[in-house]
Amino acid sequence: MATGLGKFADALGFALLNDILSSFRGGNAYGRPNLYEVQIHPPRGASPAMGGHDTRDISLRVESLQMPGRSLETQIASAGAITGPQREYVTQPLFAEEISMIIQSTAGLDDRKFFEQWQQLSYDVINFDAGYYNDYIGTLDIYLLNQNNEKTFGLKVEECYPKSIAGLNLAAGPTTEIRKTTVAWTFRKFSPLDAESQQTGGELVEPSLDTVKRNSLNLTPAQLASNFNAIPKGPVDD
């Protein structure tokens, strides 16, 4: 009897292990932080290519960003309102104050010029005139991807604008290093993007191709050459 129970337990454990492994290999596989897409949408009044700078190209150069967080503001019920342990009520949601984003800069600092022109819409630093709020707010669409580069989750960050653009550190160093621009975004709120919005609402028509492009931008020329040489060479069909 003990032997039979032992075999049953072994079989049950093996089946459970297979179920767990199958789950991780399927749709519930671990998510990776480098599988993402971000779409930058300037204010409605601005041109999609603000100042001649393509937002799609800038989006592809986003090296890292921090997805926004959210917490709940609460209030303890006043003394004497209820008997027994006090209740803590939710009064309103609180969204993270800023989103940090790092962009790999071009030689001409096109990305930095783009964000500076965006800031110019909020406040004209030449004439010292403040702009209208609706004229300088935009949106960010942030998508998480699976191993097949398919969108699995998305957030629309609403009423956002680049609040600060960090200075550039210039120093003599390895020639493989890339200049990077750090932008801190402020926003009002964010909301989830449903599956339909993820498929039809964005400008990145081919997310898998865009992911390859973005990941390629993170490689040095030597790494790109190494990856290319590692591709098996075979006969070419006419």
- The top-scoring range by mean pLDDT among 26-35, 178-187, 194-203, 206-215 is 178-187
Q: What confidence tens digit (pLDDT) does each residue in 125-168 have? A: 888 999 999 999 999 999 998 888 888 899 999 999 999 999 98
Rounded CA separation 145/199 (Å): 12
Rounded CA separation 83/90 (Å): 19
Q: Evaluate whether residue 6 is within a structural domain.
A: no
Across 157-184, average pLDDT: 89
Rounded CA separation 142/125 (Å): 30
Overall pTM > 0.85? no
Name the DSSP letter for residue 158: E
Q: Evaluate whether residue 98 is within a structural domain.
A: yes
Per-residue pLDDT for 175 more than 80? Answer: no
Could you give the number of structural domains in the chain? 1
Among candidates 28, 39, 68, which has minimal Cα distance to 198?
39
Q: What confidence tens digit (pLDDT) does each residue in 4-42 have? A: 655 545 655 566 666 665 655 555 567 788 889 999 999
pLDDT score of 169: 84
Q: Evaluate whether residue 8 is within a structural domain.
A: no
Q: Evaluate whether residue 227 is within a structural domain.
A: no
Residues 140 and 162 sit within 8 Å (Cβ to Cβ): no
pLDDT score of 234: 46
The structure tokens listed for 82 are 């209820």
Q: Evaluate whether residue 9 is within a structural domain.
A: no
Among candidates 77, 100, 104, which has minimal Cα distance to 88?
77
Q: Evaluate whether residue 52 is within a structural domain.
A: yes
Q: Residue 200 sits in a domain of what CATH number? A: 2.30.110
How many of the other CB atoms lie within 10 Å of CB of 178?
12
DSSP for 58-114, written as a single string: HHHTEEEE----EEEEEEEPPTTSSSSSPPEEEEEEEE-SEEEEEEEPPTT-HHHHH
Q: Evaluate whether residue 2 is within a structural domain.
A: no
182 band by pLDDT with thresholds 50, 70 and 90: very high
The structure tokens listed for 172 are 């003599």
Among candidates 96, 109, 193, 97, which has minimal Cα distance to 151?
193
Query: What is the helix, strand, coil percentage profile of the chain, to 5?
Result: 30, 30, 40
How many of the other CB atoms lie within 10 Å of CB of 114?
26
- Residue 175 belongs to domain spanning: 30-77+86-214
Q: Evaluate whether residue 203 is within a structural domain.
A: yes
Sequence-distant (≥ 6) Cβ neighbours of residue 141 within 8 angstroms: 37, 38, 39, 41, 154, 155, 156, 157, 193, 201, 202
Per-residue pLDDT for 109 more than 70? Answer: yes
pLDDT score of 139: 94
